[in-house]
Amino acid sequence: MAGSQTVEELFMNNEELPENYIHKDSKGFMDASPSSMEIPVIDLGLLISSSPTVEELEKFRAALSSWGCFQAINHGMTDSFLDEVQEVSKQFFALPMEEKKKYSRTENAIEGYGSDMVLSEDQILDWTDRLYLLVNPQDQRKLEFWPKNPENFREILAEYTIKLKQMNEALLRAMARSLNLKDDCFVNQCGGEQTVMFTRFNLYPPCPRPDCVLGLKPHADGSAMTILLPDREVEGLQFWKDVQWVRVPIIPHAFLINVGDQMEIMSNGLIKSPVHRVITNSERERMSLAMFCAPGSDKEIGPVEGLITEARPRLYKTVKNYVDSYFQYFQKGLRPIDAVKI
C-alpha cells in the first residue's frame, strides 16, 4: 500500500510514481507566475522590546491582517544555534532507513517517523517524510520517538523548544498590543506550561514530477501560531495572497511565522490563517522544521472580548481540542475552520 512506504524509499528505488501522489487537475505547479508581492519582514528586536514604536506595531498589525504571515529577523537566536538545529535534523534524515524506522509512527497515530497518514481512498498524498514529536507539555513527551542518534538530538530539541516557547509568548503579547488589547489576552488562552507544542521535521526528497506533485497540498495550519525554520538553500513554500501564490524567499537564519486557525478564531477573524503549500523540486531535497503552538488541551478558546462589537459580531464558536478534528478535514482537502464559523 502506498503511504506505508516513505517518500524517500519511493525516490531511492526509482519506482514508478504512484497515482495517488498526482494532482490531476494541476495546471503545472512550476509555472506559478513570479509575483512582485513580498511577504512582510518584521524585526523582532524592535517589536518585542519593552517599548516598541507605534510604527513597528502598526507594521506588525498590517502584516497580520493582510497576510497572516511574516519573516522574522533579529529574533535573538544565534546563527550558530540555528545551524546546529538544522544539522541534527539533517543527520537524522541521513540515517539508514532501518535506523529511522525504529521511530516509525503506528498506523493511525501522528507521532513518530513516516509519510502521510492515509485517511481516505481518494486522498492525494504529499511528497514528504516527517518526524513528528510532541515537545510540550514536557511530561507528555513520548521519548520512544525521540531519536537517540545523532547523539545531541534530544538535547538540542529540548533547548529549541524552550526558546520557541518564549518566542511564541512574546509574539502573542505583541499581537495583543498591536490590536490595542490587553497584553495577556492571547497568552491567557494559549500560553503557559500547558501550551501544546508539536514539532515536525519535514524532508522533501527530490521529486520526478514537480509539475503535478506537491510537497504539501494547500492548507492552513490548525495551530494558533506556527514558527517555521525553512531550508537554508532550497525554496519551496508559497502563500496564497489575494489571487495568486507568492513564494517565500530565503533570508538566512530568519523564521517564517504564520498564524493558524486558532488565532483566526481568537482574533474574531481580524487575523486570517493563511493558506499555503510546498512545491517540489526535481534536483534538490529540501528540509524544514515546523513548530506548531496551540492552547492546552483542556482550554476552551474563542474570540476575545475586545474584538466582538456590534459592528463586528462574534464569527466563530468556542472550540476545544481543535487539532483533533483538524486532520480529518485536512486530508479531505476541506478547511476545518469552516466547521466552527457561526
The partner in contact with residue 230, picked from Ni ion, ligand OGA, none with C-beta cut-offs of 5 to 8 angstroms by kind, is: ligand OGA
Under rule CB under 5 A, residue 221 binds Ni ion? yes
- Cβ neighbours around 297 below 10 Å, total: 14
Of Ni ion, ligand OGA, none, which one does residue 115 interact with (CB within 5 to 8 Å by kind)? none
Beta bridge partner(s), residue 219: 276
Question: Which residue is associated with the grid cell 540515517?
Answer: 95
Report the candidate in 292, 251, 338, 271 with the shortest Cα–Cα distance to residue 39. 251
Of these partners, ligand OGA, Ni ion, none, which one is at the site of residue 228 (CB under 5 to 8 Å by kind)?
Answer: ligand OGA
261 binds Ni ion (CB under 5 A): no
Q: Rounded to the nearest 10 degrees, what angle do helices 54-66 and 153-178 cross at?
A: 100
Among 171, 185, 216, 270, indicate the residue that binds ligand OGA (CB under 6 A).
216
Q: Which residue is nearest to Ni ion (CB)?
A: 221
Residues 46-65: x/- map of binding to ligand OGA (CB under 6 A)?
--------------------
Which partner, Ni ion, ligand OGA, none, binds residue 82 by CB below 5 to 8 Å per kind? none
Q: Which of 202, 267, 268, 280 binds ligand OGA (CB under 6 A)?
A: 202
Strand-strand pairing, 244-247 and 69-73: unpaired
Amino acid identity of 251? I
Residues 108 and 117: beta-carbon distance below 8 Å? yes
Question: Around 240, how many Cα atoms within 13 Å sit in the side-chain half-sphere?
Answer: 11
CB of 57 to ligand OGA, least distance (A): 26
DSSP 243-265: TEEEE----TTPEEEEE-HHHHH
Using CB under 6 A as the criterion, what x/- string covers residues 227-266 for binding ligand OGA? -x-x------x-----------------------------
> Which of ligand OGA, Ni ion, none lies near 278, with the C-beta cut-off 5 to 8 A by kind?
ligand OGA
Write the CB contacts of 33 (distance below 8 Å, at least 6 apart in sequence): 244
Instruction: Report, in Å, the least distance between residue 228 CB and ligand OGA.
Output: 6
Name the site residues for ligand OGA (rule: CB under 6 A). Answer: 200, 202, 216, 221, 228, 230, 237, 276, 278, 288, 290
Q: Could you list the residues that contact Ni ion (CB under 5 A)? A: 221
